[in-house]
Amino acid sequence: MYKAELIINRDFRKSEISPLIYGSFVEHMGRVVYSGIYEPGHQEADEDGFRKDVIEKVKEMGVTCVRYPGGNFVSCYDWRDGVGKKEDRPRRRELAWKSIETNQFGTDEFVQWSKKAEIVPVFAVNLGTRGVENAVSLLEYCNLPVGTAYSDFRCENGHETPYGIPIWCLGNEMDGIWQIGHKTPEDYGKLAAQTAHAMKSLDENIKTVVCGSSSTDVATYTDWERIVLEYTYEFADYISLHQYYGGQEKGTEEFLSQSVEMEDYIQTVIGICDTVKSKKRSGKKIDICFDEWGVWEIPGEDVAGSVASRDWETAPAFSEQIYTMEDSLLFASMLMAMIKNSGRVKAACQSLLTNISAAIMTEPGAEVWVQPIFYPFSYMSKYGRGTLLESVLRAPSYLSGKGREIPYLDQVVIHNAEMDELVLYLVNRRDEAAEVHVDMQGFCAEHAAEHTVLFHEDIKADNRSDHEKVKPHTAVVTGTQKTRIDCKLKPYSWNMIRVRVKSNE
Active site residues: 173, 292
**Number of helical (H) and strand (E) elements in the chain, helices listed first:** 11, 26
Q: Helix 107-117 vs helix 132-143: angle between axes, to the nearest 10 degrees?
A: 50
HEC profile for 371-385? CCCHHHHHHHHHHCC
Q: Give Cβ neighbours of residue 363 (< 8 Å, ≥ 6 apart).
A: none
Phi, psi of 191 (to 5 degrees): -65, -40
In the chain, the amino acid numbered 363 is E
Q: Give Cβ neighbours of residue 333 (< 8 Å, ≥ 6 apart).
A: 256, 259, 410, 427, 429
Bridge partners (DSSP) listed for residue 451: 475, 497
In the chain, the amino acid numbered 203 is D
Return the H-helix or E-strand segment holding 28. Answer: none
Of the candidates 182, 292, 175, which has an alpha carbon nearest to the alpha carbon of residue 243? Answer: 292
CA 53/CA 38 separation, integer angstroms: 11
CA 366/CA 400 separation, integer angstroms: 43
| Cα-based distances in Å from 313 to 39, 91, 94, 310, 356 | 17, 12, 10, 7, 16
CA-derived radius of gyration, the chain: 23
Torsion-angle region of 334 (φ positive above 0: left; ψ -120 to 50: alpha; else: beta): alpha
* Largest pairwise CA distance in the chain: 69
In the chain, the amino acid numbered 289 is C
Beta strands per DSSP E along 202-357: 207-210, 238-245, 287-295, 313-314, 345-350
Q: Give the SS3 label for residue 21.
A: helix
Task: Using DSSP bridges, classify how beta strands 23-25 and 345-350 pair: parallel, antiparallel or unpaired.
Answer: parallel
